[in-house]
Structure 1
Amino acid sequence: MPHKNTSDQILETARDLLASEGLAAVSFDAIARRLGCTKQAVLYWYPSKHDLLAAMFLPWLEAEAETAIQSVSGTTRRDEAVEAFVRAIAGFHFEDLDRFRMMYLLPQTIKQSVKASHDAALLDKIHPVTDRMYGALADRLDSDAKGVRQEALAIHSAVLGLLLMFGLADSVRDPLKHNASEMVSALIASLRST
């Protein structure tokens, strides 16, 4: 593998595996097989699943944030911004539930001892991204109210919770009684100002 692009090739292969075969297919062995190299060559660049996940996570988070920021950029009223944000975030993740699982569920399953040495550096990159995303929504909420950034975080969390339920239903092949579009609309209605 050429030295210059090896890291990018590994990430691209991991993303391809995720998209084509799902989360369970993303392994160092599978990546090595696809690239025609040894597992050790992959481990050289990403010594742990946490390292690989972190390298995949940040570009996804940046794409999610950019989607959210763009969605509210043309809005002027609170309810309009909330609706645009919820629809954009839901659409971004419904497009790829395996990516959602890797972003928001898999990190919760990695043991603390494995994560500890990497967390500070990763958080230093994550915080500015989430701050931009929450700030863009908060700017369109009631500017006189205290806690608009917390409200923006709560709105994002509500969308992620809805996605969690659809991801769970999808993974056990037990469809919910209401479709995604109906539930996104119901969430938006519940978040409207009085």
Structure 2
Amino acid sequence: MSAQREEILQAALEVFGARGFKGTSIDAVAERVGLTRQGVLHYFPSKKRLLLEIMEFRQRRVREHLSDRPVGEDWAGDFAEVIAFELDHPCFATVHNVMVAEAITGQEPAAGYVRDRCRSIQDHLTERLIERYGERLPSGLDARTAATAVHCLIEGVHQLWLVDRDADRYPQVIREALSALLGTEVADGPQPSATKG
């Protein structure tokens, strides 16, 4: 990814997080990054396209952060590390929750994106849990219920932290709660990175 493209995405993250999709204009993003409207449109031909690229940018940054970690050996720890990373980068959690708020009121493209994303995440988690544990986990939960519970826990933590940023305990809460949901022991080893607030 070019430096200019990444710079636009970072600026757009901040603007979308502050104003939401409806309240954000290409002009506002261009002003934030010091380009003309056409300069932004050269890389992102529409506001909807820019929004979708932002969400992919967020996922890519998370994957990069986890690239040195043996992902999959300690799922509770993996999720805790993702939460710690996102709390170190509040714009990711903020733009995600702005999207959810707009989805609740039926605003497009947020509503369609969030609905499809939620279904995709839960389906993916269910498949992975079945691959690893079968239809029923060591905790006694069936795979679909566990996947939904994991997803809800992650979503809730994002929201709670945004209204109480002094609370830095959430990565450990995720680690311990997911260990209980999955029916696994809390793994030893390094704790998730401390949040910067």
TM over 0.5: yes
Distance 1:148 1:114, change over 3 A: closer
Report what 1:24 is aligned to.
18
Distance 1:100 1:158, change over 3 A: same
Distance in 2 (alpha carbons) for counterparts of 1:88 and 1:31: 30
Higher helix share: 1
What does residue range 28-39 of structure 1 map to in structure 2 within 5 Å?
28-33=26-31, 34-37=33-36, 39=37
Distance in 2 (alpha carbons) for counterparts of 1:10 and 1:99: 17
Candidates 7, 15, 26, aligned match of 2:10: 15
**Residues 71 and 84 of structure 1 are in contact (CA less than 8 Å); yes or no, is this contact kept in structure 2?**
no
Report what 2:127 is aligned to.
135
Deviation, structure 1 residue 119: 3.8
Deviation, structure 1 residue 64: 4.4
Secondary structure in 1 matching 2:164: helix
Distance in 2 (alpha carbons) for counterparts of 1:133 and 1:65: 16
Distance 1:115 1:184, change over 3 A: closer
Secondary structure in 2 matching 1:139: helix
Deviation, structure 1 residue 22: 8.8
Candidates 95, 105, 109, aligned match of 2:102: 109
Report what 2:53 is aligned to.
55
What does residue range 1-194 of structure 1 map to in structure 2 within 5 Å?
9=4, 12-16=7-11, 18=13, 23-24=17-18, 28-33=26-31, 34-37=33-36, 39=37, 42=40, 45-48=44-47, 50-61=48-59, 64=62, 67=66, 72-73=71-72, 75=73, 80-81=74-75, 83-109=76-102, 112=106, 114-115=108-109, 119=112, 123=116, 131-132=123-124, 134-140=126-132, 142-145=133-136, 147-170=142-165, 175-176=166-167, 179-188=169-178, 190-191=180-181, 193=183
Distance in 2 (alpha carbons) for counterparts of 1:13 and 1:168: 27
**Residues 11 and 55 of structure 1 are in contact (CA less than 8 Å); yes or no, is this contact kept in structure 2?**
no
Aligned amino acid, residue 170 of structure 2: A
Q: Which runs of 5+ in 1 are unaligned?
A: none
Aligned-CA RMSD value? 4.3
- How many pairs are equivalent? 169
Deviation, structure 1 residue 56: 0.9
Deviation, structure 1 residue 186: 4.9
Aligned amino acid, residue 84 of structure 1: G
Distance 1:134 1:43, change over 3 A: farther
Aligned amino acid, residue 139 of structure 1: E
Deviates more, 1:153-162 or 1:107-116: 107-116
Distance in 1 (alpha carbons) for counterparts of 2:58 and 2:84: 14
TM superposition score normalised by structure 1? 0.59
Distance 1:137 1:16, change over 3 A: farther
After superposition, the C-alpha distances for 1:120-159 in whole angstroms (9 at most, x for unaligned) are 8x94x8866765455334533x324184144123213202
Q: Which runs of 5+ in 2 are unaligned?
A: 185-197
